[in-house]
Amino acid sequence: MTDPGTGAWPGAGTWPVGGYPPAAARRTSPRIVLVDTATFRQARQLVPIAVPALAGIGLGGGRWTVVGLVVAITLVSLATAALAWWRFSYLDGPAAVVVTRGLVSRSTRTVPNDRIRGIEIEAPPVHRLLGLVRVRIDAAAGGSSSAGRGAGKDEEVLIDGVSRAEGERLRTAVLTKRSRVPVPAADDVDGAPVQPDPEREEEFARFDNRWLLYAPLVGGYLAVPVAAVGALSRILDELPARLLPDVDGPALDPPVVAVIAVVVALVVLAAGAVIGAAVVNWRFRLVRRGGSLIAVRGLLTRRTTELEIDRIRGVAVADGAGMRLVGAARVNGLVTGLGDAQRRGQLLPLGPRAQAEELGRRLVDDPGPLTPHPASARRRRIARGMAAGLLVTAAGAVLTVTSGWWPLLVAGVVLTVLGVPLGLGRYASLGHATGPRSFAVRVGWLVRERAVLERRAVVGWEVTQSWAQRRAGLASVVACVGAGRGGYIAMDMAADDIAAFAVAASEPWAEQLVPGTELGR
């Protein structure tokens, strides 16, 4: 903390905001007024007030009323956008980013540089037209004493509508000023901390458009349209028959119609998935610049995400059932204190598995091949796979006996039988490995994920053993980490291996788990 005397900024609170020169605050580009007018960004907030007001006045209909209304709304939008622009300013000082805004009551937000966890630059379509970008600054909220319930309580500062060059300048400026050594006592905030050659770039991955063909197999895309089709067919069922169009057409066999419908639906779904992936991942590039990884992507909205390499605690390589068929995978970085981790942490969207593995090894030490789990784990997975089916079967049996309605019984039996291959598949996924500096766990079948984490990432262990697991000599262990999903499970390990695994996969404190060290200290 340097010189707390000058830290008298409004809203600075207890943060060490030291040594500000009263530099002139910066403004966003006036062109943002156009963007906001066109998108009704501020005016949208007035809708809840405007609608009842208009309804109260009553509208006489007619063309001129409509024109007048459109003009009035646009004017309101323009006025509010201009006001918002006029009252907004920001300043990237040597120790903090300060944003001032507010129409009537001014609010000043100060985010110390050492709390900033990442900067994202977005360029939505309208912004791109006018050469503007939106800068999103991610910061950890408050001190750890007020952080509340663990991770995920981040705040965000939005600086909307600066020129692209200013956006880049802001990012470099903030990231250079942020102290590399996160120890407050040794903080030389005034001096420029050493930055390892920020200009050199090293490319880690580049999107190949052929990878778009993987998209239809991701599965996540498939669920939504299928649900939509289901809902639609239900609506059609419930419509009175006379409302349905009379399709006379050439008489087709129902099976032929069904096949055609399914094929068309599949083609549409696949095309939709490819287009969706293209919009999000277009010209994806991952480069390393200095101490950061920078991911750029997007067709309509270009998005630049910056992740600090120091904060990367591991990687998760996900390859679902569909992706495994074609050897595809995606890579997520497990980064401490990253909001919206699923989207922002993505380091390789849908690429070939070999490349995904290669990227993962580059970021975190590979702990070696996975050790499979004991045979009793296979029995348990199969039993768990069949459990849902058995439950349905039991309910179906009751129904068949009591009311003679048998379809549920049949469905239950089918589900039970399908549970066997599902259980086998889920068992084949299970595995864990420990290396000198990292460890890995893998779980899942339809959505399979192998997480590789550094030993220092672990902030706690949670061992669970159900009654059935105790009988089978198994137990599960969750490595709690302050990154990614927060916990990564090694499911159904041999109970005897748990303590040794935990010790090998984290720091010495985990020796507390080893049986026979009662009251260690």
Judged by CB under 8 A, does residue 185 bind another protein? Answer: no
Amino acid identity of residue 318, one-letter, is A
Q: DSSP letters of 407-456?
A: HHHHHHHHHHHHHHHHHHHHHHH-EEEE-SSEEEEEE-SSS-EEEEEEGG
What does the alpha-carbon distance between residue 32 and residue 129 come to, in Å, rounded to a whole number?
11
Stretch of residues binding another protein (CB under 8 A), selected from 5-13, 144-152, 230-238, 292-300: 144-152
From the number of C-beta atoms within 10 Å of its C-beta (0-12, 13-18, 19+), residue 341 rates as buried
Listed ranges 45-53, 164-172, 233-241, 483-491: which one lies at the site for another protein (CB under 8 A) = 483-491
What does the per-residue mask of binding to another protein show for 343-382, with x meaning CB under 8 A?
A: ---------------------------------x------
CA–CA distances in Å: residue 63 to residues 50, 70, 369: 20, 11, 72
Does position 425 bind another protein by CB under 8 A? no
Q: Any contact of residue 21 with another protein (CB under 8 A)?
A: no
Neighbours of 252 (CB within 10 A): 10
**Within 10 A of 69 (CB to CB), how many other CB atoms are there?**
12
Helix axes 63-86, 31-39, angle to 10 degrees: 140
Q: Which listed residue (274, 418, 478, 504) binds another protein by CB under 8 A? A: 478
Distance CA 31, CA 133 (A): 11
Q: Name the minimum Å distance from CB 143 to another protein.
A: 10
The answer to whether residue 513 forms part of the interface with another protein (CB under 8 A) is yes
Among 152, 290, 291, 352, binds another protein (CB under 8 A): 152
C-alpha to C-alpha distance for 451 and 440, rounded to whole angstroms? 5
The distance from CA 485 to its chain's CA centroid, rounded to whole angstroms, is: 9
Pick 86 or 509: Cβ nearer another protein: 509
Which one of residues 30, 102, 182, 220 is an interface residue with another protein (CB under 8 A)? Answer: 182
Based on its alpha-carbon atoms, the radius of gyration of the chain, rounded to whole angstroms, reads: 29
Q: Which is nearer to another protein, 163 or 376 (CB)?
A: 376
In angstroms, give the least distance from the CB of 505 to another protein: 13
Q: Which stretch binds another protein (CB under 8 A): 57-65, 84-92, 356-364, 509-517?
A: 509-517
Question: 124, 502, 504, 505: which one contacts another protein (CB under 8 A)?
Answer: 502
Considering only 28-36, 70-78, 145-153, 430-438, which stretch makes contact with another protein by CB under 8 A? Answer: 145-153
Binding footprint of another protein, residue count (CB under 8 A): 59
- What's the closest the beta carbon of residue 184 comes to another protein, in angstroms? 11
Burial (CB count <10 Å: 0-12, 13-18, 19+), residue 90: buried
Q: 78 or 147, CB closer to another protein? A: 147
Q: Does 499 bind another protein (CB under 8 A)?
A: yes
Angle at 70 between CA 68 and CA 73, to 5 degrees: 105
* Helix extents (H) in 87-158: 125-129
Choose one: 7-15, 122-130, 246-254, 465-473; the region binding another protein (CB under 8 A).
Answer: 465-473
Nearer to another protein, 147 or 390 (CB): 147
Nearest Cα to Cα of residue 329 among 451, 498, 161, 202: 451
Q: Does 247 bind another protein (CB under 8 A)?
A: no
- The total of other beta-carbon atoms located within 10 Å of residue 412's CB is 21
Residue 1 touches another protein, criterion: CB under 8 A? no
CB 479 within 8 A of CB 461: yes
Q: Does 253 bind another protein (CB under 8 A)?
A: no
When binding is defined by CB under 8 A, the residue of 173, 399, 411, 447 that contacts another protein is 399
Cα–Cα dist 384/414, whole Å: 15
Among residues 94, 298, 314, 482, the one that binds another protein under rule CB under 8 A: 482
CB nearer to another protein: give 443 or 502: 502
Which span (11-19, 148-156, 325-333, 363-371) binds another protein, by CB under 8 A?
Answer: 148-156
Give the residue, chosen from 49, 185, 247, 519, that forms a contact with another protein under the rule CB under 8 A.
Answer: 519
466 touches another protein (CB under 8 A)? yes
Run of H or E including 162: strand 154-163
Distance of CA 261 to CAs 231, 258, 450, Å? 16, 5, 37
Q: Which is nearer to another protein, 103 or 468 (CB)?
A: 468
Q: What are phi and psi of 412, to 5 degrees?
A: -60, -45
Q: How far is the CB of 318 from another protein (least distance, A)?
A: 19
Angle between helical axes of 254-281 and 220-238 (0-180°, round to 10): 140
Nearest approach, Cβ of residue 38 and another protein (Å): 39
Name the site residues for another protein (rule: CB under 8 A): 144-145, 147-152, 182-183, 336-337, 376, 398-399, 402-403, 456-457, 459-467, 470-473, 475, 478, 480-483, 485-487, 495-496, 498-499, 502, 507, 509-510, 512-521
